[in-house]
Amino acid sequence: MLFSSFEYLIVFLPIVLIGYHWLHARGWHESGYLWLTATSLVYYSYWNIRDLPILLASVTFNWYLGRVILATDKRWMKMSCLLGGIVIDFALLGYYKYAGFLVENLNAVTGSDLEFTKPILPLAISFFTFQQIAYLVDCYTGKGQVFAYIKYVLFVIFFPQFIAGPIVHHDEMMPQFEKKYQPGEMSTLFSLGMFRFSIGLFKKVILADTFSIWANAGYGAVDELTFATAWMTTLAYTLQLYFDFSGYSDMAIGSGLMFGIRLPENFNSPYRAVDIKDFWRRWHITLGRWLRDYLYIPLGGNRNGAVNMLFAITLTFVLGGLWHGASWNFVIWGGLHGLAYIVLWMWGLTALKMPNWTARIMTFFFIHLTWIFFRATTFSDAVFVIKTMLGWGSGNLNLFDGLELMPCGYEAIAAIAGGLGIVFLFSNSLKMEKSFHPNLKNLLLFLIATSAALIRLSFHDDFAEFLYFNF
């Protein structure tokens, strides 16, 4: 049930909202959150009900371990529960997501012929694994709290954020499950949520799904790419990925606001970053926060000298890349970002300065090139695309050569230019929210964005699933 589907827009979301606000209007707040929990389980089961026992087993296991860690005064017991929980959580994730990858590489290295039938990956396992490990670590360090089982389940599976983030933290969500809003306050949040949702719906359906046509066409015929179409393909994917994922995040945040629950921000104009560090403050903010707090800092961060810091940076980004999927391309993508961090650190040791506009351009093109490894099917495909973009090998430098091979090639050039203009020149959804008032102007923006998306959904069947559902 995609957020951009009619099932969600006109059936599921309205039913859940009506039930939730009806219960809260009568003062039955606990029943309202029980309703949210039950409907979130229905939402997850709609995708694949066979995954529900795995999810509930994981949630119950981590909730119980958290209670044990908080209840005991014995340090060895706390440590045993923490390590046991982390091992089992990662073992579950590893079996479903990485076991096949491990067997393939073991066969390639040793020449063996081990067989492994890859299981179907349970939806959202990467997200709920990270979320619950963070909770266990916080319980161990004294930052966690004991929560009622139903509230903990809701914290993990709250449907707006559950499938593809943002990755939420218990201390930013649990207080909201206890808060009681006044009617006027709730109506403001509801109207803001609808506005924010409409922005995300427009990004996804009108922008991301349009750019996906050219990205899929190019990456589906890598050997036929020319200099021009290679750039069109990769720029289309760079824009698709941003509008797709940030659009999903906007819809998730908007859905949450309609219930009076604010999810953390996940994007803040990342392609305007001046360096790689700035990029990760702006892109998938909640993942970057998790990697910093629960991997980089525990590895020593910058506290134990330069060598340890460089090691921690490299490992954090390599594992962060691997989190996205079982592929060497993701490892390379993460490693390149780690290398960029190290180069930035070394640059900081000098007295050299760079104009902001130069830094932004260089950062954008670095990010753009690394997305090729993120999207390409194989390493050799990624290398071929980059070589073609640089005019090496078979890359034809004629700016218009090969456009006939790209669907609506000349229209693609105009669309990509427009997409880049939106990314670099227009206010992002966070800035639009800060200046939001329930007035005629914003009502018109809401109606235009929503109507355009619904019209496209009604007459086109080429919309794609959210990209991060695959990760």
Read off the pLDDT band of 463 (50, 70, 90).
low
Q: What is the mean pLDDT of residues 115-130?
A: 86
Report pLDDT for 97. 92
Give me the active site residues, please: 324
* Closest by Cα among 200, 225, 201, 223 to 214: 225
Alpha helices in 12-74 (DSSP H): 13-25, 29-48, 52-71
Give the range with max mean pLDDT: 54-63, 346-355, 396-405: 54-63
Count H helices and E strands in the chain, helices first: 22, 0
Q: What is the pLDDT of residues 375-431, one digit of tens each?
A: 999 999 999 999 999 887 654 566 666 666 677 667 888 999 999 999 999 989 988
Report pLDDT for 464. 61
Element (H, E) at 190: helix 183-202
Look at residue 448 and tell me whether its pLDDT is greater than 90: yes
Question: For the chain, what's the residue count?
Answer: 471
Read off the pLDDT band of 134 (50, 70, 90).
very high
Give the range with max mean pLDDT: 84-88, 103-107, 398-402: 84-88
Residue 181 Cα to chain centre, angstroms: 29
Report pLDDT for 393. 62
Cβ atoms 136, 66 nearer than 8 A? yes
Alpha helices in 98-141 (DSSP H): 99-110, 125-140
DSSP notation for 387-438: HHHTT-TT----TTTTGGGSTTHHHHHHHHHHHHHHHHHS--HHHHHHT--S
Element (H, E) at 393: none
